[in-house]
Structures are given as structure tokens and as C-alpha cells.
Structure 1
């Protein structure tokens, strides 16, 4: 896809990786740095110092993965956003009501996106899930998000007993884990580019979580990843290179009717959330996954 943001998966590669003259060098292969957004590297990649220099210059996130291809660290360029100090002060001092309002909007968008994912994939219960979005209140005190998830997961994979269990590698969970890792990499990149601190979340506040804000931002984009993972799970018996390429395409797929892809929608939403944190507007507009029948 011309102009697409590419993800290079080197988690299974053994050998030297370097960069120069506008390209990433992997063995005899080259990839234009200008096309890249995220590079996943594994424990057997020998990274030349040049890759860090060029990744910073081209705003590329390097995600370091363990032997299971699970991301364990990320190398990012320092933010060059001119409002980084102001925005991070606003993150710290944002009022509880504004935080709760933002989380309500995020959960509503996620549930509506889940309903749309069911609809484009010709799965049942889309209307039931969509109606639940109307019940979400400030801060989601009734945990409508969890109620929607119970109806959603069993319907999407057409498995009444399906349970989403991160890291379990059971059923489609490994496909979901991989696709979420790709989307999460884009979210981390967008947060830093917006001049925000990934540790300071709107709703997620776990003491040991370095990416609480990323875990907030990713929520409305999960349905887009779910559709890609569901398709791959139905087409591949294992996580082959072709399967991973299909999963990695998630950020180049159409997200909404305005023509934005998942990747560009993440960037746009993160900038909008940053403005909201600075006090702009009374609500934050959160994008909703719409997909298309081509995704079904």
C-alpha cells in the first residue's frame, strides 16, 4: 500500500540490523525509513547503533520483544512537541470530573465499535451490544464495559465459551495479543508525539504500569484489531509469517467513514485528548470503529 505506515517484524530474525542512507538494512533486504512506524525486534537481532540514531530521526518506535515475541520495552525518540511541559502539567492537574467524562466517552466509543465489528462480520448481538453503550455514565461506575465484553467475545468468535485471556495463547488469544501489540506501539508513538506522559493515565492508574495513558487510548481501537485477529484466526492454523503480516496490517485499514485508517485515527485522537487535557472543550470526541463490509 503506497504511503502506508509499515510495521517490520524481526522477532524471529537472527542477524545484524542497521540503518543508513534513508533505509533500514536487514540482511540483504532494505526498507525505506520514511515508510516505517514500528519495528519489532527479538532477542537474536544484533542492533547496530545506527538504527537508534535513524529511528529517532524518522520518529520510529522500536519495540523490544522476548522469545515469545511479546513486547517488553520500547525505544522512542524524545518528544519535540513545543507544548510538552504545559501538557504534562495539565495531565497531572486534570480534574476528576474531566477524567471521568473522558473515560465515559472512551468506553462508549469502544462499545459502539464492538457492535460495529459484530455487524460487519455478520455476527449476532450487535444491537444488544450497541444498546449497552447508552447505559455508560461518567466514570462507568456500573462497569458496563465488562457487560458488553461478555456478550461481545462469544459472538465475535462464534464460540460461546470463548474467554479473552491475555498471554494464555489459548484459542484466538495469541492472535489478539499480537495485534494489540501492534496497535499499542502506535499508541505509544502517538502519546510521545503529542507531548504527553504515557505513565499518567485518564483512568488506568496501576502503580507498576508505565503506560497507563496508552492503555486508556487503545480502548476504542481494540475492535479494529479484533476484526483483523478474527479473520486471521479463521484463515491460519498458526502464527506464520503470512499470518503476522495480515495482523500487522491493522493500522493501515480503514477505521471510520471519514477515510482515516486506524493509525491516523490514533494520532488524531491522541492530539484531541491532549487539547482536552489543556482545558479545551467540555467533552473529548472519541473515534468509533466503523469498518466496512470488506472486513467481514
Structure 2
């Protein structure tokens, strides 16, 4: 079952009662101009077990310890945002699988050749998916991207990922003068940052549910990054965000702002259609298939990660 994404961009009080997340909206309660029928809707409940992602995007949001505990116990990811409404923190459960200790050991003892092979698979699918996005957005088949995908070697020693990325961004937004993919760059970098943060939370949640450490990557190894493995595994999923952002830019223009309306579209990322092994499923479900297959690669049951192909 696809889990729900809850976004809070206004003052709210979140608590727990009878395994339900109780949502109180004080602005609605205090507004004397609203009719009583609207005020009666100022308290909403949602089953905790149905929630997969919560985004807290307002300084006047209060969440009780009990509600937070229940969300994490049910393997829900909780994202907090800064004063620019950009995701700045991610909370995940410490225990997401009944055989977590055993799976940690499998992950920790994975050999370097295995990690390099898994990274080769990851980058190959990422470049293939990027090629699909370019074809979809420009109507042209960029053969160089498909060639680079086939030429990726174990561990990607030739850094074809970077070569493909440089070409990809230059081609995708050729119509926007001066555009480069940079976290602090011009739009639509703001939308990409937001979308990737949501995607990262989804992948990290799936890794925890599969009993894996999101910190220990197969390629990324920044000592200050608590989600190296999530950053590795999300790579082939990034083009799904890229495609959605491109569609938004096409609709709203080059100088697109990260408004609530735009955020509401980006919050559909967990429900985007994804195909793995010719089977279609929402992205959030597909992520758990991917992380489950990753564990089986660590344990020796599989040799290939189940990644989505566009």
C-alpha cells in the first residue's frame, strides 16, 4: 500500500490519540469570520500506519513526543524545513527490520569489488534514464548518452557519470541562459533541490525498512554525510524528478518560484509511476523493491540491483 505524504505549511499542533495523528489548525479555530462548519474541520485525524512522509514547513508547528515516536515506529520519514522553506533535516527510525543486526553485518563486510560492480550498475541505469528524459523533453535521441551508459566500467573509473551530467544539464536547459546545476544556482535549481530532498527521504526510509545503514555508501563516503547510501541509490531515480521539474518549467516559465502550488506538485514524487522488471508501481513502493534487492546483493542472493528504467 502506498503511504501518504503530509505537508504542513501553516501553524499546526500535531499529537497522538488512539494510533491516530491528530492535526489541530489554530488559525482556523481562531478565525471568527469563518462559519462553524469550517471551524469543525480544524481538527483532523489520520491513521499513523498510513503515513510514509511528513514535511514540517513552518516555525509555529508543534509536534508531541508521542506523535513523533509513533511516526518513527511506523517507519515514517520526517523532514524539517528552514526559514527559506527548503528541507534541512531528516528523521528516520533506528530500527526498521527484525533482522537488522544480521543485515548490518552483510553490508559492512561487502567487498570492494562488489561495491564497484553495484556502482557500475547504478551509473549505467542513471545515464540511461537521463537519456530518456532528454529524448522526452527535446524529442531527439542523444546517442552519446546511450554510448556512455554502455561504456561504464566497474567503479566508473573514467567518471562517465560526470561527463554525462555535464552534457545532460547543458542540453536539458539549453534555453535558459547561464543555467548550470548548482544547489545555489538560478531556477529551476530551487525546484530540483526540493524534489531531490523528498526523493532522498523516500530512499532513506526504504533502506531502513530493508535493514540497511543509510550512512554506509557503496560510492559516496563524505565523512559529514549521514545518508551516503541513500545518495548512491537515489541516482537512477533522479531523472524522475528532473522530468517533473522540466514539465513545471515548461508550464510556469524559466523564473519559476517555489510556491505552495509548485510544492504540491513536487509532493507527488512518491506516487510517480515507476517500472521495474516490466511491472509498474508508485515510486515509494519501487524504492523498497530496489533496497530489498540491494540487501540481497550484499548477502550474495542476487548480483543485480532492481532499478527502475524509464
Same fold (TM over 0.5): yes
1:58 corresponds to: 74
| Residue 150 (1) aligns with residue 180 (2) | no
Question: Which ranges of structure 1 fall in alignment gaps of 5 or more residues?
Answer: 291-296
1:193 corresponds to: 209
> 1:43-83: per-residue Cα shift (whole Å, max 9, x none)?
33111223213213432111122212233322222324122
| Alignment check: 8 A CA contact 2:179 2:186 kept | no
Question: Which ranges of structure 2 fall in alignment gaps of 5 or more residues?
Answer: 26-41
C-alpha separation in 2, matches of 1:26 and 1:275? 43
| Residue 16 (1) aligns with residue 36 (2) | no
C-alpha separation in 1, matches of 2:285 and 2:136? 21
Matches within 5 A, 1:212-251: 212-236=228-252, 237-251=256-270
Matches within 5 A, 1:114-153: 114-153=130-169
C-alpha separation in 1, matches of 2:235 and 2:242? 11
- What SS class does the counterpart of residue 300 from structure 2 fall into? coil
2:129 corresponds to: 113
Cα deviation, residue 263, structure 1: 1.3
Moved more, 251-260 or 97-106: 251-260
Cα deviation, residue 251, structure 1: 1.7
Matches within 5 A, 1:1-296: 4-10=2-8, 12-21=9-18, 22-27=20-25, 28=42, 29-42=44-57, 43-159=59-175, 161-166=178-183, 168-236=184-252, 237-256=256-275, 257-281=278-302, 283-290=303-310
C-alpha separation in 1, matches of 2:64 and 2:14? 6
2:28 corresponds to: none
> 1:128-159: per-residue Cα shift (whole Å, max 9, x none)?
21221011000000000011111211222343
> 1:231-275: per-residue Cα shift (whole Å, max 9, x none)?
122333322212111111112011124112221111101111011
TM-score of the pair, normalised by structure 2: 0.85
Q: How many correspondences in the alignment?
A: 285
Moved more, 138-147 or 121-130: 121-130
Cα distance change of structure 1 residues 137 and 18 upon mapping to structure 2, 3 Å threshold: same
CA RMSD of aligned residues (A): 1.9
C-alpha separation in 1, matches of 2:305 and 2:12? 45
Cα deviation, residue 32, structure 1: 4.0
C-alpha separation in 1, matches of 2:245 and 2:172? 10
| Alignment check: 8 A CA contact 1:106 1:286 kept | no
- What SS class does the counterpart of residue 9 from structure 1 fall into? strand
| Alignment check: 8 A CA contact 1:104 1:137 kept | yes
> 1:164-218: per-residue Cα shift (whole Å, max 9, x none)?
102x151200000011111111111111111111111111111111111111111
- What SS class does the counterpart of residue 121 from structure 1 fall into? helix
Cα distance change of structure 1 residues 272 and 223 upon mapping to structure 2, 3 Å threshold: same
- What SS class does the counterpart of residue 259 from structure 1 fall into? strand
| Alignment check: 8 A CA contact 1:105 1:286 kept | no
C-alpha separation in 2, matches of 1:138 and 1:46? 48
Q: Which has the larger radius of gyration?
A: 2
